[in-house]
Structure 1
Amino acid sequence: MSTYTQELQTTAKALVAKGKGILAMDESNGTCNKRFEKLGIATTEENRRNYRELILTAPNLNTYISGAILFDETIRQSSATGESFVSVMQRLGLIPGIKVDGGAKPFAGHPDELVTEGLDGLDDRVREYYNLGARFAKWRAVITIGANIPSAACIEANADALARYAAICQANGLVPIVEPEVLIDGNHTLDRCREVTAATLKEVFKQLTTQGVAFDQMILKPSMVITGLSATLPAPVHEVATTTIETLLQAVPPTVAGIAFLSGGQTNEQAAAHLNAMNVMFPQTPWPVTFSYARAIQQSALDKWRGDSANVAAAQKILAHRAACNSAASNGTYTVDLDRQLALV
């Protein structure tokens, strides 16, 4: 039993508390800068800091959000008044988290496939992040559906890395968010996505078991089982919800602390509608089913802000609105009408 067992169990439960989800605001500087460039925002550290402060200090955010995943730059930054972001989050009732992977890189010998790097020195980095105030971490693996891919080698390599990362986190006091993302890109069918997702999850939990990872002290962050973005016939909401939950029930141990879906390129409304349908149709899953969204919560607020301090309050209102919609979806009470009503508040 780890020295941190009790703390890890408590943190994991708090991250998936009823009606709450996890905000993913861990975009790398490069990704954040690309989003800024599209909107004509200067790509400076100060603007990234301003943007992250706008998010973390949005009024009532902790009503809908349990914790936020930060990037390395962000966890070391402070608010305009000089208070560290970690302290701001703790004061506002948000659990600080941290992205620890080194990004998905080309997988040698396997064209068009990726493997996530970052295990070297991870033990020391996790200890440092714990001392900085982080209490959970995230590692994202990327699985691509295409002609003759994913290969078994790609799934196994990514699952192995996810499991080793998770074990290192638990040994050093951080709840691991295990994120095997099956990309939405492509024209694949719902059945093909189900097949790949099932194979991926099966291998991930095999490797997690091998590494001795405690399931009640981790969060799974999967993609939904969904048709490809360029598919001719997108699956209806109820089919996505049913196929996703049925796939998880077959592959995910009941002792896992919670499921927090990524939005993976869905629209704001799609991400909320699919999550809502799962909670309406399957109210008795063995684990809480909630969200860990990035763009599906932040993008509309970023579009409004555009780097202008005069737009901060309006952008925060939009951010809180999207968080409230997804909170409702995690309770099975989201509707398009509610989405419109909340927008008027």
Structure 2
Amino acid sequence: MNDEALRATAAALMAGDKGLLAMDESNPTCNKRFAALGIPQTEVSRRAWRELIVTAPGLADSISGAILYDETIHQQLQGGRTFGHALGDIGIIAGIKVDAGAKALAGHAGELVTEGLDGLRERLEGYAAMGARFAKWRAVITIGVDLPSPACIAVNAHALARYAALCQEAGLVPIVEPEVLMEGAHTLQRCAEVTGQVLHEVLAQLYVQRVVLEGMLLKPNMVLPGLDCAHQDAVDEVADATVTCLLRAVPAAVPGIAFLSGGQSAELASARLNAMHRRFKDRLPWPLTFSFSRAIQQPALDIWRGDASNVQQAQRALLHRAACNRAARRGDYIAAMDIAT
């Protein structure tokens, strides 16, 4: 493990007011989105969609790193370059999703644990040889009646820490993603309580596993009311709850925090990130940025619909959303940016 190289990659991913693009949807998830729009659910369609993203002119103006799926990192663009090399050619760092998905947690109905540690050391070595410089592992935590259980938080935190240690051993920066899900009727306050518990346990396990904090990135959820909660808090209230929770849980040694969008609308995700910078910019010990998937890609996917004649228009929509989030990282995003499009 080369600590300096890990620190340099983490710093590069957080540099220049840019953010990360999560284009690592599993094949079933990608196919589900395609099916809703009448796009063929094939390897050819998935490759074409991801080529549309990677070849969008000027993508690197707002995006510092892109998280790929296993299928994608093995694919080639029409010109014969791999996706990893194509990203590197335009100055975007290639990363890779390495978990095997969330599965039912034995003995705990309604809860999940992320699997994929078996054989991970060898897989990481292979991905590094293909040009990946960072990786991602997602754990999911559900809020409900008597949920989450201490066991669910503990096993997911332990897995995240073991994954992170293996990544650093292989020379890859681990993105540690503990996601408290939006589904449910819980309040903003309840989400803040659970998110705090999860972050404290994750950071404790990272310490136990001797993960170098300066050589990793954190990818948490924003603190949000559940989708079915009767009261949906204002943008500023979400910003205050999220940053307060992070300040209480995340050491300043962590070089950056990149939020997942978690099912938020594109505009709300941008507005909430913007409010955090507008209200807390001088108090943040770490950079806050975005690592969005649907909140950047969905408008473009809605336009593309598998039709080659829509590629340029879809790319413009993709670049617009990426630019909006870069503006949000500076605290310069305004809703008029979207009204005008």
Structure 2 residue 69 is matched with structure 1 residue 71: yes
Unaligned runs of 5+ in 2: none
Aligned residues: 340
Please give the alpha-carbon distance, in whole angstroms, between the structure 1 residues aligned to 2:136 and 2:232: 30
Which residue of the partner structure matches residue 141 of structure 1?
139
Q: Which secondary structure does the structure 2 equivalent of 1:283 belong to?
A: helix
Note if contact 1:245-1:278 (Cα within 8 Å) is conserved in structure 2. Answer: yes
Q: CA deviation at 1:19?
A: 1.5
Which residue of the partner structure matches residue 212 of structure 1?
210
Please give the alpha-carbon distance, in whole angstroms, between the structure 1 residues aligned to 2:210 and 2:224: 31
C-alpha distance after superposition, 1:295-318 (max 9, x if no partner): 000011011001111000000000
Q: CA deviation at 1:164?
A: 0.2
C-alpha distance after superposition, 1:109-140 (max 9, x if no partner): 00000000000000000010000000000000
Structure 2 residue 198 is matched with structure 1 residue 200: yes
Which residue of the partner structure matches residue 334 of structure 1?
333
TM-score (norm 1): 0.98
Unaligned runs of 5+ in 1: none
Q: Which secondary structure does the structure 1 equivalent of 2:96 belong to?
A: strand
Q: Which secondary structure does the structure 1 equivalent of 2:311 belong to?
A: helix
Q: CA deviation at 1:18?
A: 3.0
Q: Which secondary structure does the structure 2 equivalent of 1:320 belong to?
A: helix
| Matched AA of 1:64 | S
Structure 1 residue corresponding to 2:256, chosen from 237, 258, 267: 258
Q: Percent identity, aligned pairs only? A: 59
Please give the alpha-carbon distance, in whole angstroms, between the structure 1 residues aligned to 2:17 and 2:174: 21
Which residue of the partner structure matches residue 286 of structure 1?
285
C-alpha distance after superposition, 1:178-200 (max 9, x if no partner): 00000000110111001000000
Q: CA deviation at 1:5?
A: 1.4
Please give the alpha-carbon distance, in whole angstroms, between the structure 2 residues aligned to 1:206 and 1:190: 24
Note if contact 1:18-1:331 (Cα within 8 Å) is conserved in structure 2. Answer: no
Please give the alpha-carbon distance, in whole angstroms, between the structure 2 residues aligned to 1:41 and 1:177: 31
Please give the alpha-carbon distance, in whole angstroms, between the structure 2 residues aligned to 1:58 and 1:166: 31
Which residue of the partner structure matches residue 313 of structure 2?
314
Please give the alpha-carbon distance, in whole angstroms, between the structure 2 residues aligned to 1:140 and 1:271: 19
Which residue of the partner structure matches residue 224 of structure 2?
226
Structure 2 residue 324 is matched with structure 1 residue 325: yes
Which residue of the partner structure matches residue 268 of structure 2?
270
Please give the alpha-carbon distance, in whole angstroms, between the structure 1 residues aligned to 2:73 and 2:156: 26
Which residue of the partner structure matches residue 12 of structure 1?
10
Please give the alpha-carbon distance, in whole angstroms, between the structure 2 residues aligned to 1:84 and 1:158: 33
Q: Which secondary structure does the structure 1 equivalent of 2:312 belong to?
A: helix
Q: CA deviation at 1:340?
A: 3.2
Structure 2 residue 155 is matched with structure 1 residue 157: yes
Structure 2 residue corresponding to 1:247, chosen from 245, 248, 269: 245
| Matched AA of 2:166 | I
Q: Which secondary structure does the structure 2 equivalent of 1:23 belong to?
A: strand
Which residue of the partner structure matches residue 49 of structure 1?
47
| Matched AA of 1:266 | Q
Please give the alpha-carbon distance, in whole angstroms, between the structure 2 residues aligned to 1:313 and 1:46: 19
Which residue of the partner structure matches residue 298 of structure 2?
299
Kindly report the root-mean-square deviation, in angstroms, between the aligned alpha carbons of the 2 structures.
0.7
| Matched AA of 2:223 | V
Q: Which secondary structure does the structure 2 equivalent of 1:282 belong to?
A: helix
Please give the alpha-carbon distance, in whole angstroms, between the structure 1 residues aligned to 2:139 and 2:146: 19
Which residue of the partner structure matches residue 186 of structure 1?
184
| Matched AA of 1:114 | L
Note if contact 1:175-1:219 (Cα within 8 Å) is conserved in structure 2. Answer: yes
Structure 2 residue corresponding to 1:129, chosen from 127, 130, 133: 127
Please give the alpha-carbon distance, in whole angstroms, between the structure 2 residues aligned to 1:306 and 1:139: 29
Q: CA deviation at 1:168?
A: 0.2
Q: CA deviation at 1:6?
A: 1.5
Please give the alpha-carbon distance, in whole angstroms, between the structure 1 residues aligned to 2:40 and 2:195: 39
Which residue of the partner structure matches residue 38 of structure 2?
40
Please give the alpha-carbon distance, in whole angstroms, between the structure 2 residues aligned to 1:191 and 1:32: 32
Please give the alpha-carbon distance, in whole angstroms, between the structure 1 residues aligned to 2:165 and 2:95: 16
